[in-house]
Structure 1
Amino acid sequence: MQPPRVLSSADDLLTRAVSQLVTRTGLPVAFGGYESTGTIVVSSVVGNRTQHLTGLGVQAARGLGGKAFVERRPRLTLDYKTSKYITHDYDRAVLGEGISTLFAVPVLVAGVPRGVLYCGSWTSASLGENTAREAMQVASELAVELRVRDEVRRHLAAFPTPSPTGVDASAKERLRAEFAEIRAISAAVDDPALRDRLSALERRLAGLAGDAPVEQTDIRLSPRETDVLACAALGATNAEIGASLSLKEATVKSYLQSAMAKLDASTRHAAVAKARRLGILP
């Protein structure tokens, strides 16, 4: 069984981020790329008037973007042609496009630079605080999506492949542990579209460990109730669940009691067992 195709590729995420830069900053041109073996390769460009930027390779520490990458902070020039603070290695591409104002923002995934996003204009003009904030927010959102994508792929790689006779007990327990971790990752994501994709993945995974047909039900647990029950299924205490999900112990207890009531279960173990029969948990 192949993993569900619910995650956008890194290139798709970059393309979307570059498009959002133009929309959200109001600047006419944006581009960006990921780092590979010390070079940031520009693979997405929006609003360009020439082909000078496409495929541009920027060495780490060189040019405006290279400095932003190694320093792990945004860099700005209001007049690229005359700036004394950049190396001008890439004048042919940047000035060939006619760019004057240029803002470069590193994409930091868990503090590690993975690429650079640029936005700019063809005239020399000051960059407003709101414009800079929007550009940095786009880079931050891209970083979050990349981190989640990395984590989900890592967990998917640990999932057992069901045999014709089903998933064995040890493999099933690993699947359940990975499911609970993905629930925790999803709970930390603010982007609604990404949460929807992760939810689709969770539903698919919840069915992988089932040995019997799933019972039909109208029972609906809230996302937090499912998060807490998934952790409880691994034998975690209320305190351990709270630490994993950044919840108070009393809040964990409340969610557990609510889930048990909905599932008509007198204990957490009975609630977990019924949730598995209903396909809510793997």
Structure 2
Amino acid sequence: MSGYAGSVGDPVGRAVERFRARTGVDVAFAGPCPDAGDRLVISYLSGTSTRVLSGLTVVAGTGVGGKAITTRRPVRVVDYVAASAISHEYDRAVTTEGVRAVFAVPVLAGRGVAAVLYGALRRPSDFGDGILTSACDAARDAGHEIAVAREVEQRMARAAELPGWAALEIRLAHADLLALAGVASDPGLGERLREVCGRLARTAASASGGAARGVRLTPRETDVLAQVAVGRTNAEVARALVLGPETVKSYLRSAMRKLGAHNRVEAVVAARAGGFLP
């Protein structure tokens, strides 16, 4: 699957894979919308047989996806090329890929359309309600995750008014120090490292207006969240902390439950607000 990282890109890319796995549609793809919201760029593909759709720019109001941007509602056509309810600027790309029935669902985050999620079949079809419901669910979940991720970015920008690269370096150093604390042979040294990390986290939370909420995380739960906060996968967290992958998942689930978070991004936001992470 092609794509790019970022607060919009990652949730949309995951939505494409989850949606196609759940419904079995022949093709799923998606495109984030720039801030202006006047177009989308198809950046995530699953199940395609060509690269013709990759990087395709769809202007608001045109085709299925562009119409979804302007109406902010799902749009579907039984047979794309024969459909009279849409414009046909993208017929060549659609026919080259060999898809017929297409629908598009807007991914709403805040007041705007953050992306558009597509599903397609290689035969004419009006799609079943189950497929459309699943697409809407995936789009809603992605929109929520994008909104939370944007909140993370805003908090990062406010934290101590540091440039983005400096804030990231602090968070990487914090995560690495916690990892060293977990494997330190000298218990006293490990405890001192954790104290320094705690000071960093509390200072950052205070600078960005955060405050502790009475939640208690264990040292290992904090260690795992610190690794997740700098973008590391569960496998990478396991290697950094010298833990088993299932143990990492267990600590992450426990931390999310305590923080009232529904996903990794929400957990990081809550942990930073509570002074557990810088």
TM-score range, shorter chain: 0.5 to 0.7
Helix, strand or coil: the match of 1:149? helix
How many aligned residue pairs are there?
Answer: 195
**Structure 2 residue runs without a partner (length 5+):** 171-195, 216-255
Distance 1:201 1:8, change over 3 A: farther
Identity %: 31
CA distance in 2, matches of 1:189, 1:83: 46
Q: Is the 8 A contact 2:77 2:126 kept in 1?
A: no
- Counterpart of 1:191, as a letter, is H
The reply to whether residue 20 of structure 1 matches residue 23 of structure 2 is: no
- Between the aligned partners of 1:125 and 1:152, the Cα distance in structure 2 is 41
What are the Cα deviations for residues 203-225 of structure 1, in whole angstroms up to 9, with x where unaligned? Answer: 7x4365xxxxxxxxxxxxxxxxx
Name the residue aligned to 2:210. Answer: 178
1:54-203 correspondence to structure 2 within 5 Å:
54-160=54-160, 173-175=206-208, 177-179=209-211, 191-198=262-269, 201=272
SS in 1 for 2:33: strand
Residue 155 of structure 1: how far off its partner (Å): 1.6
CA contact (8 A) 2:100 2:120 kept: yes
Kindly provide the CA deviation profile for residues 25-60 of structure 1, in whole angstroms up to 9, marking residues without a partner as x: 220101111112522100111000111111110001
CA contact (8 A) 1:69 1:113 kept: yes
* Pair 1:150–1:98, CA change in 2 (3 A): same
Does the 8 Å contact 2:12/2:115 carry over to 1?
no
Q: Which runs of 5+ in 1 are unaligned?
A: 1-6, 209-282
**2:39 is the alignment partner of 1:35:** no
Residue 140 to residue 189, structure 1, CA distance change in 2 (3 Å):
farther
1:206 and 2:238 matched: no
Match of 1:272 in 2: none
- Normalising by structure 1, we get a TM-score of 0.60
Root mean square deviation of aligned Cα: 3.3
Offset of 1:10 from its aligned partner? 2.8
2:68–2:105 Cα contact (<8 Å) kept: yes
Question: TM-score normalised to the size of structure 2?
Answer: 0.61
Rg: which structure is higher?
1
Q: Is the 8 A contact 1:25 1:132 kept in 2?
A: no
Give the distance between the partners of 1:93 and 1:174, measured in 2 at CA: 50
